[in-house]
Structure 1
Amino acid sequence: MGWSSLSAVAQSGPTKNTLTWLADNSYRNMNPATNYEAEIFVLGNVYETLFEYKDGKVHPKLATSWDRANDAKTWTVKLRRDVNFHNGTRLDSAAVKKSFEFVRDLGKGAAFLYSGLENVETPDPFTAVFHFKNPIAFDLVAAGQYGAFVIAPAAVDKGDEWLTQGHAIGTGPYQLTEFQQGKLLVLQKFDDYWNGWHNGQFERVIHPFVSEPATRVQMMRSGESDIALVPVSQIESLDALTNVAVALTPSWRTQLYYLNTQKYPTNNLKFRQALMHIWDYDSVLKDVFHGSAKKPVAPIASTLWGHRTYDLPMFDLQKALTLLEESGVPKNDWKIKALYGANSQDIDAIQLFQANASTIGLEVELDQEQIFSTYLSKARNPETTGNMNYMTWWPAYPTPSDSLISLFRTEKKPTFNLSFYHDAEYDRLVDQGVKLEATDIEAAAKAYIAAQDRLMQNAVAIFYAEPDRVNAYSSNITGMEEASNPAYEWLSIYDLRR
C-alpha cells in the first residue's frame, strides 16, 4: 500500500490522537485460536488473557483470583464482573468455557497446550472450573501469548475462517475495525473498556505493512510515522534526531543456528563443536546488532526462570581447526550449507561466519529464503535442509518447556526441531519438568537445567544473541517502557501517551 493510500485511510474517520505504527510483517491469520506467528503483535491489543505474567509473577487480568487443587488437575477461576466484549455482551464463565474449548477443538497453533483439557464447569456466571487429564501449570499457560486469549461467543459461533479473515470480538482496549490482508489494519479505541481511559491515550491506530526498512526509517525521519521497527544499524542516527527516540527493550527472544545432528558432516560431535568456535560472538553483537543484543548464557532467555549460566564457546579459529582435524572428517568433506532468512542481522552474521570459516579451510554454502514459510519447508525436509538452520524463538507462555520441547524434543517429522536431535534422556527430562511445573517449580527447574546440560554437551546449536526489541518512536510519545513486557511480543498501545 502506498503512503498516499494510507493517508486517505487515516483521513476517513476520527483523527484525534491517531497513532501511525508501521508493520514489518505481512499479517495473514488473525484468528487468536490458531495463530502462532507475528500477528500476535496486534492481537495482544484486541484480546486479553485470564492472567498476566509480569516481573516474574502471575497476576490477575480478566480473572480476579484462582485456586489450584492439590493434584493440579483442577483449577477454579473467579472472573471480573465488569468486563464487556466489543459487541456489548458481558464476559462470563460460559464465554470463557466456550473460548477455551474452541481453541482445544480446533487443534491448531498452540492448541496442544490444552489437549488435556477435559471440560470446563460453570457453577455460576463468574466462576469457571477447568478440569485437566494431567497436572498442568494452568496459571502460566493461561498467562501466555498464544492460545490463551478469551474470544467472544459470537465470534466463536462465526468460526475459524471468519476470525482468520480479520474479524474480531475481544475484550481488549482496541477493536479491529479494518483488515486488508498483507497490507493494512486499523484499530479503534473501545469506549467501554473495563480498565477505563485517560488523557493522552490513542484513540485510533493505523498499522500498514511497510516491507522496506529504508522506507520505515525515512517515514520516521519525516514525521509520517509514530512507531516503527527499524534496522539496528540506524539506532544511532535516529536517536540523534530531535523528533525521534529509540527504545531498546528486553525480550525473551533467542537467536540461534541449529546444528544438524543427522546430516553429514555435522552428524559428528567434534565437527559441530568446531563450528561453535568459528562463530565470532563478540563481533556479531558489536558490529551486527550494534549493542541491541546480549550474549546468551543458556539455551533459553536469561530473564526466564529455569536455567543456569553456561560458558559458551569462545571464538577461537585455532581451536576450531584442531577440532575439525580431530573429527576424522576428511578435508575434502569440510563443506556445509547454512540456511537462513531475510533479516539484515541474519545476513550479516552468517556472512561473517562464512568468511571466518574460509580462513581454516571450511567451505560454507549460503542458502537464503526470503519467506519464512518457504524457509521452514526447506529446513524441515531432510533432502534440502542445511547443516546450519537459522531460528528466532520466543516462548508461547512463561516456561522453559516451550523452547526446550518445541526446538529440541524428538520428532519423527520435524516441526521446529531443525537440529534433527534425537535424545531419549533429554526427552525424559523435559517431560519430567512439565509434569513438575504445576506443583514443584524448583524441581521442574532442575529437570530443565539437566536437559539444557545435554544440549550444551551435544553441541546441538549455536546460541548467539538475545536481541532487544528495537522501536523508533516519535519523541512526543511516552510510556514505551511500560508498554513493553518481555513475556509478550506485542507493544501495549494502551500504555502509550502523546
Structure 2
Amino acid sequence: MRHARSGPRRAPRALRRVLTAGIALATAASLAGCAESQRGAGGGEGGTLTFGAAGAPDLFDPFYASDGETFRVSRQIFEGLVGFKPGTAEVEPELATSWEETPDGKSWTFHLREGVKFHDGTEFNADAVCKNFERWYHQTGAGQNNALAYYWVENFGGFADGKEPSLYESCEAKDPATAVIHLTRATSKFPDALGLPSFSMQSPAAMEKYHADDVKAQGDSFVYPEYARSHPTGTGPFEFDSYDQSNGSIKLVRNEDYWREKTKLNELIFRIIPDETVRKQELESGSIDGYDLPNPADLESLRESGNNVQVRDPFNIMYLGITQKNNPALTDLRVRKALAYAVDQETLVEANLPEGAEPATQFYPKSVDGYADDVQDYPHDPAKAKQLLAEAGQQNLTVDFYWPTQVTRPYMPDPRGIFNALAEDLREAGIKVNPVSKPWNGGYIDDVDNAKADLFLLGWTGDYNTPDNFIGTFFGTTTNRFHTQGSPWGEQLAERLRAADSEPNEEKRNGMYSDINRDLMSEYLPAIPLSHSPPAIVTSPRVRGLVPSPLTAEEFASVSVSEQ
C-alpha cells in the first residue's frame, strides 16, 4: 500500500499536479497488469533485459552526474526519500513513508521506512540520511565544480565553506526512523527535488570504504574514485555487478534482499550503442530488448514489426534561445519580438515533430503550477516582423544561428530539420542567417554557454513538477545561457523568481509565477518557446510491464521478459 504524504498544504498541490487524463488512459493497461507496487511486482525468474543505451556513463555515483544515461542506470540501483508515481510527475513516498513541514516551510520532518538495508547489508536510517546530506554540503575542491555538483548547485546553491548562500542548513537524526532537514528559507522545490537521482540515498559505509569524495580534476576532465567506478551502493531493486568497457556493457543483478517484492528480472544489462540506426537494427535482430528516443520517422515501422512503442506525455520545452551579450541588436525587445513573429510554430510542429507535439505559448507545460492562459502570443506574421525590425533600425539584421549535430533530444528529435524550418522563417522576414553547426558534445554546448551563438536551439525535460525547475533553471540567475546579465531587467527577473520560489503560501506563489510567465512573454522575451514534444520509448514484444515516464525516468523493476 502506498502512503499519502503528510502535511495540510501539500496534498492539494499533488492532486493538481497529476498529468493529463490522457497519460492515465495510455498507461492503464500496463498499470492493471502490475501488482500494487509498480516498481517491484512479483518475485521469481524473469530472465535478462538488455536495453540499448545511447551513451556511456562516466561514473555511477549519481551525486556527481548530470547526464541522462548515468541516471538511467543509477535509478535502478538507488532510491530517494521520495519518488515519482509511475506514469506521472507526481511525488510519492519512497524511502520516507510520509513527511510534514513547519508553517514557515524551513524545516521538514521525514518519517523513514524501517527494515530497509543498503546493498552492502548496512541499515538505512536517519543517520544515513544525514550523512548523505552532510556529504553533499561539505564538498570541497573538485567536488564543488558545477560540472560535478550541477544538481546541488541548481537546487541548493552553495556549500559549507560559505562562499555562496545555500538552501541547506542542517540535518537532524531525531531517532533512527525520523530525519529533520532544516533549510535557510522556504522553497517550492521541497520535497520534489529529493526525487532526483543526484539526491538518492547511498550507503555511508560503502562511500567511506571506497573513498567516494576523492574526486580530482585532471585538465578538462575528472578522475573518479573507486566507489564511483565500481562500488555504487544503494537500496534499489538492482545491484551493480560490472561495467565491461571493452564491449560497452553494464550489468546489474537482482537485489535478493529488496524491501519491496523482488524484481522478476535476474539481470538488467545496458549495452552502449551510440548510433540510433544501429539501436534499431539491434532491436530488430533480437540482440537488445528496447531503446529510448526512436526516430519519429521509424515509429510506424517499429509498430508494424510487432514492437511496443509507448509515447510519453510531453513534459518538456524546446525553445529558440537568444543571446543578448554580443549582438547589440538582440538587446532591443522589438527585435526579439520580430523574431517571435517570424517563427511559424504551427508548421514547425506539424512538419518536424512527432504526432502529439504541441506549440508552446510559454516556457513550461500546462500541467505545471503557475501556467498562465493569457500570455501574449505571436502568430506567424512576417510583415509584422519586418515592421518591428524597421522601427528598431535593424532592417539588415544578421544572426549567427547555431544548431547541434550528433544528437537527438526528447524535445528535439531532428535538429537539422528544425533548424532548416526556422532559418527559412527568419529569411522570409528579411533576416540574414549565418548557420553554424557543431557536435552537441564537440563544441555546441560550450559555444552556447560562452555566448558565441546569437540564436540557438535548446530545451529541457522537467526533472520534477515545479515552475522553478523550468523557468527558475532557465532565468533564475544572471549567469544563464541567455546572458541576460547585461539587460536592465535580468537581475529583476532573477529576483522575482527567487521570491516566488521562497513563497510558502501555495496560492500566492502560483499567482507570482503566472505574473512572471506573462511578463516573460511580453516584457522580457529572453527566448522563444517553440514546442512540447512527446518522446517515445520502444521495447520488443517479449517485454511486459514497462511504465513510460513523462520525466523519461523509467524504472525496470516492474518489467519481465518472456521466452519466444
- TM-score between both structures, scaled by the size of structure 1: 0.88
Q: Percent identity?
A: 21
Partner of 1:34: 64
Partner of 2:430: 361
Q: How far 1:278 moved relative to its partner? A: 2.5
Secondary structure at the aligned position of 2:241 is classed as strand
Q: How far 1:221 moved relative to its partner? A: 2.2
Partner of 1:119: 170
Task: After TM superposition, list the pairs within 5 Å mapping 1:192-341 onto structure 2.
Answer: 192-197=257-262, 201-229=264-292, 230-242=294-306, 244-264=307-327, 265-309=329-373, 310=375, 312-331=377-396, 334-341=397-404
Partner of 2:137: 104
Secondary structure at the aligned position of 1:266 is classed as helix
Partner Cα distance (1:312, 1:25) in 2: 38
Partner of 1:140: 191
Question: How well do the aligned residues superpose, as a CA RMSD in angstroms?
Answer: 2.4
1:173/1:193 contact within 8 Å kept: yes
The one-letter amino acid paired with 1:156 is M
Q: After the TM superposition, which of the residue ranges 113-122 and 132-141 deviates more from structure 2? A: 132-141
Partner of 2:458: 391
Partner Cα distance (1:166, 1:282) in 2: 48
Q: How far 1:80 moved relative to its partner? A: 0.4
Residues 405, 166 of structure 1: alpha-carbon distance in 2 compared, 3 angstrom cutoff: farther
Q: How far 1:196 moved relative to its partner? A: 0.9
Partner of 2:536: 470
1:99/1:156 contact within 8 Å kept: no
Q: How far 1:180 moved relative to its partner? A: 4.6
Secondary structure at the aligned position of 2:338 is classed as helix
Match of 1:454 among 514, 519, 533: 519
Q: How far 1:372 moved relative to its partner? A: 3.3
Secondary structure at the aligned position of 1:277 is classed as helix
Q: How far 1:445 moved relative to its partner? A: 1.2
How many equivalent pairs are there?
Answer: 471
Partner Cα distance (1:272, 1:496) in 2: 48
Superimposed CA distance per residue, residues 289-322 of structure 1 (whole angstroms, 9 cap, x where no aligned partner): 2315222232112222221234542223233233
Q: How far 1:444 moved relative to its partner? A: 1.1
Partner Cα distance (1:435, 1:405) in 2: 12
Task: After TM superposition, list the pairs within 5 Å mapping 1:158-197 onto structure 2.
Answer: 158-160=211-213, 161-162=224-225, 163-180=227-244, 183-197=248-262
1:72/1:137 contact within 8 Å kept: no
Match of 1:374 among 429, 443, 468: 443
Secondary structure at the aligned position of 2:256 is classed as coil
Partner of 2:505: 440
1:33/1:102 contact within 8 Å kept: no
Residues 134, 20 of structure 1: alpha-carbon distance in 2 compared, 3 angstrom cutoff: same
The one-letter amino acid paired with 1:463 is P
1:339/1:386 contact within 8 Å kept: yes
Residues 138, 296 of structure 1: alpha-carbon distance in 2 compared, 3 angstrom cutoff: closer
Secondary structure at the aligned position of 2:493 is classed as helix
Partner Cα distance (1:373, 1:77) in 2: 43
1:339/1:368 contact within 8 Å kept: yes
1:40/1:489 contact within 8 Å kept: no
Residues 276, 138 of structure 1: alpha-carbon distance in 2 compared, 3 angstrom cutoff: closer
Secondary structure at the aligned position of 2:108 is classed as strand
Partner Cα distance (2:59, 2:542) in 1: 33
1:117/1:131 contact within 8 Å kept: yes
Residues 29, 278 of structure 1: alpha-carbon distance in 2 compared, 3 angstrom cutoff: farther
Secondary structure at the aligned position of 1:287 is classed as helix
Secondary structure at the aligned position of 1:147 is classed as helix
The one-letter amino acid paired with 2:432 is E
Q: How far 1:215 moved relative to its partner? A: 0.8
1:117/1:132 contact within 8 Å kept: yes
Partner Cα distance (2:423, 2:187) in 1: 44
Match of 1:52 among 60, 76, 83: 83
Task: After TM superposition, list the pairs within 5 Å mapping 1:59-78 onto structure 2.
Answer: 59-78=92-111
Partner Cα distance (1:151, 1:467) in 2: 34
Superimposed CA distance per residue, residues 376-398 of structure 1 (whole angstroms, 9 cap, x where no aligned partner): 2211223xx21112222134443
The one-letter amino acid paired with 2:212 is G
Partner Cα distance (1:423, 1:77) in 2: 37
Can you give the 5+ residue segments of structure 1 that lack an aligned partner in the other structure? 1-14
1:21/1:206 contact within 8 Å kept: yes
Partner of 2:160: none
Correspondence 1:350 to 2:419: yes
Q: After the TM superposition, which of the residue ranges 168-177 and 394-403 deviates more from structure 2? A: 394-403
Correspondence 1:18 to 2:48: yes
Residues 359, 56 of structure 1: alpha-carbon distance in 2 compared, 3 angstrom cutoff: closer
The one-letter amino acid paired with 1:41 is R
Superimposed CA distance per residue, residues 175-218 of structure 1 (whole angstroms, 9 cap, x where no aligned partner): 222235693322211111111126xx322122122111111121
2:342/2:425 contact within 8 Å kept: yes
Partner Cα distance (2:518, 2:441) in 1: 30
Q: After the TM superposition, which of the residue ranges 107-116 and 463-472 deviates more from structure 2? A: 107-116
1:253/1:466 contact within 8 Å kept: yes
Partner Cα distance (1:266, 1:166) in 2: 48
Partner of 2:35: none
Q: After the TM superposition, which of the residue ranges 176-185 and 368-377 deviates more from structure 2? A: 176-185
2:238/2:252 contact within 8 Å kept: yes
Partner of 1:79: 112
Secondary structure at the aligned position of 1:90 is classed as coil
2:203/2:233 contact within 8 Å kept: yes
- TM-score between both structures, scaled by the size of structure 2: 0.78
Partner Cα distance (1:166, 1:399) in 2: 34
Partner Cα distance (1:417, 1:355) in 2: 23
Superimposed CA distance per residue, residues 96-123 of structure 1 (whole angstroms, 9 cap, x where no aligned partner): 1111111222241222334332221112
